[in-house]
Chain A
């Protein structure tokens, strides 16, 4: 069994005093400053929380569920798991170009940003789509890819409609948009065509 020396997290409390019940999103920089105060150790020990970028490299290779679990491990992990780049890596692994390195072009990033970011995209669209595919009986890999592309397209259209696009007109129309049923609503649930 490898010897793992526990690195003490420096400073039990956070820097600024917080009111009880207030959950504050601590920035990564604050966390690293806290951690570098304590921690470290003798030779042979390691601290996986030494470097946020290294941690991001590792977390980028997780699946969606594991990434969500990782976010609950500690403050630094929560902060790194909030980086959209980590979720981007995950999304691109499923729908990105086959040849690595998987990185989205600036145009794609702009579109995804408008949709609310990769994390949201995974939570609302890709994650559920992948779950459905996992439950479906053995599909060809090619069909997986098409299913995911279709889910992404529908998701984008739905976002667009909610923003009041497609003839909705000005901001007031946009506000009403939420109360009008989306034209795609009937597609939100799997349709049995047997």
Chain B
């Protein structure tokens, strides 16, 4: 995920594989990535399809993803990208890395602060990267599992604005599970 200074967007790697330039929301960072990695994002895939052949001239700007998050997202994509990019669903092709290796990578990948984790969820949702969305959402879900409402609030820094009546009502509504 090197930041290319003045890439024409149509550059290739030494092996000649096509690359795509992705630009962060504030235009502060440009990333040149393998096409196979970029196409893990259904949003990017759609943008390329819609824009046509000469789209990659200036790189693709992603208005909802800041530089720091985009860098991290691309770290994931590069790791999970299939060995070769084919025009049909890139996710169907097996990734270049071994499965155990990927699991270890994923575990380490989500060991970040909550702010970063939440940004990754949002980015994965916007970019429609299924694997990343699953990984990040499941990580947060695992933090919630098995906890009482009060413990959940504490873990995630949430204040409840329920009135006592509302709190009673909602607990009654969900009493079947406790």
Identify the A interface with B (CB < 8 A): 2-9, 12, 18, 20-24, 44-46, 48-49, 51, 53-54, 57-75, 77-78, 101, 123, 127
- Closest chain B residue to A101 by CB distance? B130
Q: Would you give 18 A-B contacts (Cβ < 8 Å), ordered by A?
A: A2-B115, A4-B113, A4-B157, A18-B163, A23-B168, A23-B169, A46-B115, A46-B119, A61-B141, A66-B144, A68-B174, A72-B171, A73-B149, A73-B153, A75-B162, A75-B166, A123-B177, A127-B176
- CB pair A48 B158 closer than 8 Å: yes
Contact of B165 among A5, A21, A73 (CB under 8 A): A21
Neighbouring A residues of B114 by C-beta, 8 Å = 2, 4, 46
- CB pair A54 B177 closer than 8 Å: no
Query: How far, in Å, is A131 (CB) from chain B's closest CB?
Result: 10
- CB pair A69 B159 closer than 8 Å: no
How many of B's residues come within 8 Å of A, CB to CB?
A: 44
- CB pair A44 B115 closer than 8 Å: yes
Interface status of B160 (Cβ within 8 A of chain A)? yes
Query: How far, in Å, is B149 (CB) from chain A's closest CB?
Result: 4
Identify the B interface with A (CB < 8 A): 112-115, 118-119, 121-122, 125, 130, 133-134, 137-138, 140-141, 144-149, 152-153, 156-163, 165-171, 173-174, 176-178
- Cα distance A45–B149 in the bound complex, in angstroms: 22
Given known pairs A6-B159, A20-B165, the reply for A51 and B122 (CB within 8 Å) is yes
Contact of A70 among B130, B152, B168, B173 (CB under 8 A): B152
Query: How far, in Å, is B132 (CB) from chain A's closest CB?
Result: 12
Query: How far, in Å, is A191 (CB) from chain B's closest CB?
Result: 23
- CB pair B176 A72 closer than 8 Å: no
- CB pair B122 A69 closer than 8 Å: no
Query: How far, in Å, is B124 (CB) from chain A's closest CB?
Result: 9
Contact of A5 among B125, B141, B157 (CB under 8 A): B157
Contact of A74 among B125, B145, B153 (CB under 8 A): B153
Query: How far, in Å, is A100 (CB) from chain B's closest CB?
Result: 8
